[in-house]
Chain A
Amino acid sequence: MRKILLLLALLNTACFAKAQTIEDIIKNVKAKLDKVSDYEAEGKMKTNVIFIKAPIAKVKVYYKKPNKLRINNESGISFIPKGSVNINLGNIFINTSGFDMIDMGKEAKTNLRIIKLLPKDENSDVVLSTLYIDETQSLIRKAKTTTKENGTYELEMTYGKYAEYGLADKVIFSFNTKDYKLPKGITFDYDDGSKKEESPDKLKNKKGKVEIVYASYKINKGVPDAVFK
């Protein structure tokens, strides 16, 4: 009898899990992210853009609800890509009622649930967001956002000790870069004969990557607004 009851309980759980709708998944993810009102994180940022040669930077990332985010390199200069506010995943859910959700099933390799968010507002800059969600942990592992103005952003998250808040230990932010060129008459470059890896044409519209590896977060300790100015 006990075995039958246990089996029924397991079947019930399995049926419940299967029945989890995309609305539930999004709700769970959002609930996790909502635990964080603000944070101050320290980490190291690597910039990988074809026309920028930059060192690894120590950065502080500040976030405050609803959508304030600032990346500061306090000991130097860092080129921060536009749209970097999207590294805060809560940004996606600022207005959930403004999206239509489409269930795209599961990704075969990773078993992540793919959900597409289409904004209802025709004037919205975001055209489409695609989320790859780990249902069991209610964590977004990957996100792609296509915008009208600034192309497509991609996010890849790796979680660790701050997973309960939906905060990643490592974020890779990919973005579109436009071509960079200054007239030689301005720069008076020295041609040292170094081989150029690619022709100038190929430098156009390349993907850039910024990788932030977080060392620590101070969550819900308050962040002054002055930081974001």
Chain B
Amino acid sequence: MWKLLQIELFKIFKRPRTYIAFGAIAAVVLLFQIGMKFDGKTYLDLILNNVSDSFEVDDTFKGKLLNGYFICFAILNILLIQMPLLVALVAGDAIAGEANMGTLRLSLTKPISRTQYMLVKFMASIIYTLLLLIWLAILALFGSMLIFGTNSLVIFRSEIIEQMNSYDVLWRYVAAFGYAAVALTTVSALAFLLSVFAENSIGPIIATMSIVIVFTILSEFNIPLYDKNVKPYLFTTHMVAWKGFFYVQTDAENRTIDGSIQNLPAILRSLGILVIYIVGFVGSAIWIFRKKDILT
């Protein structure tokens, strides 16, 4: 298995397009950081417009607000919606790419079961996803901490502002990145499943993205019919639960409690739903692949 995994990883990282995702992440993060460094206060004006009538929002305040933790949160807010595309690039290619090149049948002549073959392919996709997230963490979190420094983290939600002490932030990012790994693995598993049906990797990649986009839009709709009957079952609804690590409990006087999470059971429930999706997608992919006639 280990040898097979090494071969799969070698194949993934031999392809130039694998690095497109790393390049795209670096470009987005760096462009955002440059923008924030030179014009971050204008960006903040848009967000602070709501509170500037009641509170002092001078340049010193904005300067403190624009710290590494805040920048990283803003980047994750943007990128974790787009990252499924980058993840699908590899996972969607896992089986369909082999079929396209005509190497699938040859690969299966090795003395391993189809289940093992599929599991190794999926594990390689997970490793790729994890490396992508580590790359994102290095650039977005540690890079921003280096460029902008650290301070309290302020999160602007739609109806509430969450504020955390600087010493209470880093562990939340560790948890959030861990959660994001599971969320992106779900997309990876979907692309992997769709990859089984295709003989060209473009199809599964586009299909995955289309599903993610439609589900994300549905998740953001504020229509009661969808809120109760559709949203709780969409994996995209639960993919944003990493933000829950930045929602803090308060005492009776609305003061935040260090080290607290507002609703940990809800995050764990979302995590459980994503794991069920992963098992469902990968299990289906293996089941279908085992029954499939391999003709290429």
Contacts and interface: CB of A to CB of B under 8 A. Distances in A.
Given A46-B255, A182-B156, 8 more contacts: A76-B152, A175-B54, A180-B50, A180-B161, A188-B77, A190-B247, A192-B247, A193-B266
Contact of A182 (B77, B157, B220, B262): B157
A131 to B, nearest CB: 24
Nearest to B253: A48
Contacts of B152: 55, 76-77
Nearest to B261: A192
Nearest to A182: B158
A106 interface: no
A17 interface: no
Contacts of A75: 166
A81 B263 contact: no
Interface in A64-82: 75-77, 79-82
Interface in A154-210: 175-194, 196, 200, 203, 208
B255 A196 contact: no
A138 B61 CA distance: 36
Contacts of A79: 51, 55, 161, 163
Contacts, number: 132
A190 B256 contact: no
Interface string A36-50: 000000000011111
B136 interface: no
A189 B157 contact: yes
B45 interface: no
A40 B240 CA distance: 45
A84 B57 CA distance: 13
B108 interface: no
B2 to A, nearest CB: 37
Contacts of A56: 255
B59 to A, nearest CB: 9
Interface in B188-210: none
A123 to B, nearest CB: 21
6 contacts: A48-B255, A53-B161, A53-B256, A55-B258, A184-B222, A203-B159
Contacts of A176: 54
A55 B164 contact: yes
A34 B145 CA distance: 45
Contacts of A179: 50
A102 interface: no
A54 interface: yes
Interface string A75-110: 111011110100000000000000000000000000
B65 A77 contact: yes
Contacts of A81: 54-56
A194 B262 contact: yes
Interface of A: 46-56, 75-77, 79-82, 84, 175-194, 196, 200, 203, 208
B263 A51 contact: no
Contacts of B253: 46, 48
A177 B161 CA distance: 14
Interface in B135-167: 151-152, 154, 156-166
Contact of B156 (A80, A84, A187, A190): A187
Nearest to A200: B159
Nearest to B231: A191
Given A53-B248, A55-B258, A188-B240, A82 B53 contact: yes
Contacts of A54: 161, 163, 254-256
B71 interface: no
B262 A192 contact: yes
A186 B159 CA distance: 12
Contact of B244 (A175, A192, A196): A192
B132 interface: no
A194 B157 CA distance: 14
Greatest chain B CB density within 10 A among A47, A79, A190 is at A190
B290 to A, nearest CB: 37
Nearest to B242: A190
A156 to B, nearest CB: 15
A52 B256 CA distance: 9
Listed from nearest, the 7 A-B pairs whose CB atoms lie closest are: A192-B266, A76-B152, A192-B263, A190-B243, A77-B152, A54-B163, A190-B240
Nearest to A175: B54
A181 B159 contact: yes
A183 B56 contact: no
Contacts of B242: 190
Contacts of A188: 77, 81, 220, 240, 243
Contacts of A48: 253-255
Interface string B3-34: 00000000000000000000000000000000
